[in-house]
Amino acid sequence: MTNIIARALAVLLLVGGAARADDAAEGQRAKFRLQVRTQIEQRLAAAAGLDPATTARLAQIVDRSDEHVAQLQRDQRDAYRELKQLLEQPQPDPNAANRLIDRISANRSAVMRAEEDRTREVRKLLTPIQYGKIVIAYPIVNRQIRAGIRKALADHAAAVDDSFNE
Q: What pLDDT band is residue 1 in, cutting at 50, 70 and 90?
A: very low
pTM of the model: 0.67
Chain-wide mean pLDDT for the chain?
84
- Amino acid letter, residue 34: L
Asked whether the beta carbons of 106 and 76 are under 8 A apart, the reply is no
Residues contacting 119, CB < 8 A, separation 6+: none
> What is the pLDDT averaged over residues 20-36?
74
pLDDT number for residue 36: 85
Q: Average the pLDDT over each of 18-22, 87-91, 111-115 and give the range with the smallest value.
A: 18-22
Q: Where are the beta strands (DSSP E) in 12-135?
A: none
Q: What is the CA radius of gyration of the chain?
A: 20
